[in-house]
Amino acid sequence: MNTRPHIRIATINDDAELRRLLRETPLKGALTVTLEREPSFFTETTDSAVALTEGRIVACGSRNVRKIYWQGQPNSSAYLADLRVHPDYRKHAGRILIEGYRLLAQAARNRPATVTWSAVFSSNQAAMRALARPRRAIPEYMD
């Protein structure tokens, strides 16, 4: 498992592979939770970055945009979600995270949002550590 992953924006053709990755990478913590997207990973407002090795998706992250009311006005909200790295590829997680966020930032320029948010289980220490370390390509996370 030493092959360096290739990172790109997902397409509808990646649907089955993305759903497989979600099943194989439950969120560990006080509770172990799988957040699956059946029958389809995609909505009309999903932009996802994926990392592939030998044709198999080994990591992903998504940006989902929804219509909201913000301060009494119609706007949009982006939710950063689905951050997963297959355990066999965790040594590449830093590079995958940075390049994936760069791709999602490009997608955000095409589909801007008034506010962007995310949620991380407090018991998911690996995610908390990865997102808390300042990196140029990663948005600032505020509790």
What interhelical angle do 125-132 and 93-110 show, nearest 10?
70
pLDDT in tens, 89-122: 988 888 888 899 899 989 999 989 988 888 877 7
Candidates 101, 81, 85; CA nearest to 93 is 85
Q: Where are the alpha helices (DSSP H) in 14-132?
A: 15-24, 93-110, 125-132
Average pLDDT of 15-44? 88
Report whether pLDDT(17) > 90: yes
Query: 2: pLDDT confidence band, cut at 50, 70 and 90?
Result: low
